[in-house]
Amino acid sequence: MKNRLCKLSRSFLSASVATAALSLSVMSQAADTIKVGVLHSLSGTMAISETTLKDTVLMMVEEQNKNGGVLGKELEAVVVDPASDWPLFAEKARELLVKEDVDVIFGGWTSVSRKSVLPVVEELNGLMFYPVQYEGEESSKNVFYTGAAPNQQAIPAVDYLMSEEGGAVKRFVLAGTDYVYPRTTNKILESYLKSKGVKEADILINYTPFGHSDWQTIVSDIKKFGNAGKKTAVISTINGDANVPFYKELGNQGVSAEDIPVIAFSVGEEELSGIDTAPLVGHLAAWNYFMSAESETNDEFIETWQSFIKDEERVSNDPMEATYIGFNMWVEAVEKAGTTDIDAVRSAMYGITVPNLTGGTAVMNTNHHLTKPVLIGEIQDDGQFEIVWETKGGVIGDAWTDFLPESSKIVADWSAPVQCGNYNLATGVCSGQNY
């Protein structure tokens, strides 16, 4: 009996040792990878835009692993689908940070999705890179904004339209999807236009829900507004798959770029790839990158992208470049800090420069926004954009606009001694902990 118990005890001990060794092995393997969270809608109304960004992150992870990973460790992408459901973005962000223990998140498109994630990454001290143009009026210590702020897209677009080169436009239709980005951007634009002498009667503002499909009445209203004897243009902050029927209806009603040009902030090569662009030739978009940009870096990026996606016809676009820039900056910051610790990486980000795809250099500033060029592109019949105007150099992204009274006194600076995303220059007070 005693010998049998000894044998059982030895067997139990051996099993325990084996289990412990296996656990240690699994832990060791887990510790040997750096997890990259991918938070993009793969279904729902925003999938038309966001699926490509998920694939862009996967491509960047694959390429980085070919180059030895980061800090000698392989990167592991963890993909979730928030399904164009804004509250679900918060739930999925929490899942990535708590359950999956990711070291960084790349994700979001709409501002409502970003604002859903904000309290989660701030509570858990996560790190997120947001790659899409947005309305500004925010700077979180846990988010780096690699898309355009209004002064890097919306304001230059208006300046271009009002110039002789852009048609000397006098009347403006501000057409947007009904959520925070278009409403705040249009609030800024309305104030800016009035400061330039545009009368309230010469500004028409219209909002439609996500996924809106019946554009016949709205396009008719735009045509009527444009028949007042003054040059008229549409500034579009329409997002997602609603752009497809909007542009089709423009073509159906014969709204040409010569008559009423449309300049879009959320339509790029990817969105146009599903549309017959022949009736849209001459309409415009404002971005910081177009696929047609001529540079060796861009050529290499496009070749890598089409090889990765196994499709020589696939296009690239501005949010892809913003993802590319953010990813490369994060890699450089982690290598510079020697760790994936969020606070160390955040500090290492400031002043980092990486090549952009237009042939210049992107710089990360202490307000968590990039220095980037601004480009105006004209739609061609092949779905590409011809660059018709660009800034002479990079423009520093402004977290808080100069064109709203309440924001004009506020700056963001996460470096010492300010370390605040909402610092009031008039009072010398930081109005918010994080943004």
Examine residue 252 and state whether it is found in any structural domain, yes or no: no
**Number of structural domains, the chain?**
1
Write the CA distances from 116 to 26, 53, 70, 355, integer angstroms: 33, 19, 29, 31
Examine residue 332 and state whether it is found in any structural domain, yes or no: yes
Determine if the peptide bond prior to 373 is cis (ω within 30°). Answer: no
Examine residue 215 and state whether it is found in any structural domain, yes or no: no
Amino acid letter for position 235: I
What CATH number is associated with residue 83?
Answer: 3.40.50.2300
Examine residue 277 and state whether it is found in any structural domain, yes or no: no
Examine residue 275 and state whether it is found in any structural domain, yes or no: no
Examine residue 276 and state whether it is found in any structural domain, yes or no: no
Examine residue 363 and state whether it is found in any structural domain, yes or no: yes
Residues 6+ apart with CB under 8 A from 139: 145, 367, 368, 369, 399, 400, 412, 414, 421, 422, 435
DSSP H or E segment with residue 342: helix 342-349
Residuewise pLDDT in 10s, the chain (435 residues)? 444 434 444 444 444 444 444 443 334 344 689 999 999 999 999 998 999 999 999 999 999 999 999 999 999 999 999 999 999 999 999 999 999 999 999 999 999 999 999 999 999 999 999 999 999 999 999 999 999 999 999 999 999 999 999 999 999 999 999 999 999 999 999 999 999 999 999 999 999 999 999 999 999 999 999 999 999 999 999 988 898 899 989 989 999 999 999 999 988 998 888 778 888 899 999 999 999 999 999 999 999 999 999 999 999 999 999 999 999 999 999 999 999 999 999 999 999 999 999 999 999 999 999 999 999 999 999 999 999 999 999 999 999 999 999 999 999 999 999 999 999 999 999 986 445
Domain limits at 121?
34-147+294-372
Examine residue 121 and state whether it is found in any structural domain, yes or no: yes
Distance (Å, rounded) from C-alpha 137 to C-alpha 245? 31
Write the CA distances from 224 to 165, 229, 233, 244, integer angstroms: 24, 11, 12, 22
